[in-house]
Amino acid sequence: MRLRVYYEDTDCGDMVYHSNYLNYCERARSELFFQKGLLPHSNTHFFVVKECKANWIKSAKFADILDVKTELIEKKAASIIMKQDILKDEELIFSAEFKLVFLKNGKPSKIPSEIFEILEK
């Protein structure tokens, strides 16, 4: 997913505020569903972030164009691990792994195969 850094994303030094990298990753994960004409959640089932391991390598600045790459690296019955990299001009500036748990009616639940198909592409 490609995105532009807006003024609202930056701190007083024109650098992207650290928590916005996590927002960019969340947007990219949602976009996997939007590209299929689907929503990433419903009233009864959705993913929640259980763990996040993040590495801020370099800073992005106001008006930069960034690419968020998303890859499913592990899948279990009720959870997945996704690796997401953010690049600026093909250079890695942020990398994270997210463990996501699938909840149905508020409880961990088996992930439907059709959702795996969306996440694996």
Cα distances from 116 to residues 59, 65, 79, 81, 110, in angstroms, run: 32, 29, 11, 12, 11
* Active-site residue, 11 included: yes
Of the residues 11, 64, 67, 89, which is catalytic? 11
Query: For residue 17, what is the DSSP state?
Result: P
Catalytically active residues, by annotation: 11
